[in-house]
């Protein structure tokens, strides 16, 4: 049996116990105690923010290329420990081991990218309309950032925040999901091993209410200049309101209801493969998971038959084996998802096996690997006949369920792709470039795939959504620099006299009589 990790917040690199420890068990084996965690309160969060704001001032003075070297060292440390970190992720949140390896690789790729960006923190020289005057722009660090992340991607998504923030000269107070503290602790220890000062990365293990109170107080005290949040749309609204009160612009990456449109000219086997991964990868517990498959009426029956067959043939179970998906991340997510299964309406049609709900000895699944009774496993569900009036169409379900709707015209498909108000990711399967470009022009999603799944990201491509999916902020690539830096402009007048820009333009034009 693996060892149990004793965890608490890391303030200036030192364990800072809070409340009496609670035991967290693996969702794939509830008898496996992964960690005992002492959660901090709002005071711990405020202390972390205060300490970080002090450390940030010295860190910002380190030249950006040198900070980039530290980020590069972090990438090498992560690579050296890739398998060990992946096993922690799989054990702690139940993600299939192959996916966990990919998640750690995403963090490594992010480090590789931003190690070089330390040498490309470019500003601009800008021509002035006045003589003997030069204009410049500079990127400065924001300051101290609070980063609050979810646990379905407990390492990849945090790396999108932490790595560029640290490279740009910021300090970070990171509050990971309270159900995924072990991988967060391991990640921070890797950051410290890369030579990044302990005060610059503060790890606060706390629940939601303590975090909310701590953020409010740290903002009021002036210890925070930025808040980044990945999670639900409802919590995102609350954080946005708190930040707005203190005139701080948050970075919000929220939920999704991601459409996958299947046109009549689509390659059906490819569309089915994409829908299978989009709907059931990570047991549907991704912000980019399939929200609704929108299938043209002429191929609707054939698509459903193939999709149902592929789903029934998929291997589910023990995440250390080669499975499509493993357990639900936690009992809370399991209960929330079960409410969606219970909400299947009379006008819906459940495809394939009639088994829904928890997988267990009393409700077995053919092809399951492992022991379903020791973990939190849900049957995959395909629900046909979903309409725009259904809650299942309008709300994020966050679990292994695939709602399917039908459309007749391209305009109807586009309406169904947008009408729920989310705007994170979308996909269309088509062999006609006109459909692809028309969909790109009309869909509200911030990320679009053509003949690929709704899920997937690369470290150098912007990630983020609009509407109920976020406030337009983007992670990854050079675009995230606008979240972790602030522009500063400077004018340098070496004329020896006061020049008043627009007020003096007429005189300057007269001095340089260029008009014919």
**For 464, left (φ over 0), alpha (ψ -120 to 50), or beta?**
left
- The residue ranges of DSSP E strands in 408-512, in sequence order, are 422-423, 425-429, 447-450, 466-467, 485-493
Q: What is the 3-state secondary structure (H, E, C) of 221-251?
A: CCCCCEEEEECCHHHHHHHHHHHHHCCCCCE
Assess whether 287 carries a catalytic annotation. Answer: yes
Please name which of 167, 166, 168, 186 lies closest in space to residue 176, comparing C-alpha atoms: 186
DSSP state of 317: E
CB-based burial label for 20 (10 Å; 0-12, 13-18, 19+): exposed
Assess whether 190 carries a catalytic annotation. Answer: no
Q: How far apart are CA 306 and CA 290, in angstroms?
A: 17
The active-site residue out of 287, 441, 458, 509 is 287
Cβ atoms within 10 Å of 415's Cβ, excluding its own: 14
Which residues does 334 contact at the CB level (< 8 Å), separation at least 6?
A: 328, 358, 376, 378
The active-site residue out of 243, 253, 273, 396 is 253
What is 236-294 written as a DSSP string? HHHHHHHHHHTT---EEE----EEEEE-TTS-HHHHHHHHHHHHHGGGG-STTSEEEEE
Q: CA Rg, the chain, in Å?
A: 25
Evaluated on CA atoms 432, 437, 440, 442, the torsion sign reads negative
Q: How far apart are CA 4 and CA 246, in angstroms?
A: 41
Residues with a known catalytic role:
253, 287
């Amino acid at each position: 049996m693996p060892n149990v990790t004793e965890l608490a917040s890391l303030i200036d690199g030192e364990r800072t116990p809070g409340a009496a420890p609670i035991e967290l068990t693996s969702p794939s084996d509830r008898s496996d105690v992964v960690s005992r965690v002492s959660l901090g309160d709002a005071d711990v969060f405020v202390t972390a923010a205060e300490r970080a704001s002090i450390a940030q001032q010295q860190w910002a003075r380190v030249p950006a290329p040198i900070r980039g070297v530290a980020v590069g060292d972090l990438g090498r440390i992560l690579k050296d420990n890739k398998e060990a970190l992946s096993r922690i992720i799989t054990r702690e949140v139940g993600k299939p081991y192959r996916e966990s390896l990919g998640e750690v690789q995403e963090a490594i790729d992010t480090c590789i990218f931003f190690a070089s960006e330390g040498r490309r923190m470019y500003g601009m020289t800008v021509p002035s309309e006045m003589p003997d005057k030069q204009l410049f722009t500079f990127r400065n660090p924001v300051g101290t950032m609070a980063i609050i992340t979810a646990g379905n991607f407990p390492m990849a998504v945090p790396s999108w925040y932490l790595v560029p923030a640290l490279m740009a000269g910021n300090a970070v107070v990171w509050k990971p999901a309270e159900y995924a503290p072990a991988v967060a602790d391991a990640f921070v220890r890797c950051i410290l091993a890369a030579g990044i000062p302990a005060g610059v990365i503060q790890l606060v293990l706390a629940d939601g209410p303590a975090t909310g109170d701590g953020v409010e107080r740290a903002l009021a005290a002036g210890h925070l200049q930025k808040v980044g949040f990945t999670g639900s749309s409802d919590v995102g609204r609350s954080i946005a309101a708190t930040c707005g009160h203190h005139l701080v612009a948050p970075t919000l990456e929220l939920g999704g209801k991601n459409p996958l449109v299947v046109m009549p000219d689509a390659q059906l086997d490819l569309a089915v493969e994409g829908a299978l991964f989009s709907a059931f990868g990570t047991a549907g517990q991704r912000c980019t998971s399939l929200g609704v498959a929108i299938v043209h009426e002429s191929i609707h029956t054939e698509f459903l038959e193939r999709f149902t067959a592929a789903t029934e043939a998929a291997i589910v179970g023990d995440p250390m084996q080669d499975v499509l998906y493993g357990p639900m991340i936690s009992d809370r997510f399991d209960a929330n998802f079960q409410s969606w299964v219970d909400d299947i309406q009379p006008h819906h049609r459940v495809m394939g096996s009639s088994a829904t709900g928890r997988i267990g000895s009393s409700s077995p699944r053919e092809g399951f690997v492992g022991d379903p009774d020791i973990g939190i496993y849900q049957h995959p569900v395909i629900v046909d006949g979903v309409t725009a009036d259904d809650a299942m169409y309008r709300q994020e379900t966050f679990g292994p369920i695939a709602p399917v709707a039908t459309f007749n015209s391209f305009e109807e498909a586009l309406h169904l792709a947008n009408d729920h108000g989310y705007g994170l990711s979308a996909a269309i399967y088509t062999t006609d470039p006109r459909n692809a470009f028309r969909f790109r022009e009309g869909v509200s999603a911030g990320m679009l795939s053509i003949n690929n799944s709704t899920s997937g990201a690369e470290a150098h491509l912007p990630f983020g959504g609009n509407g109920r999916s976020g406030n337009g902020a983007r992670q990854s690539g050079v675009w995230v620099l606008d979240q972790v830096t602030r522009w500063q402009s400077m004018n340098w007048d070496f004329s020896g006299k006061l020049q008043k820009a627009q007020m003096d333009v007429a005189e300057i034009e007269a001095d340089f009589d260029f008009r014919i």
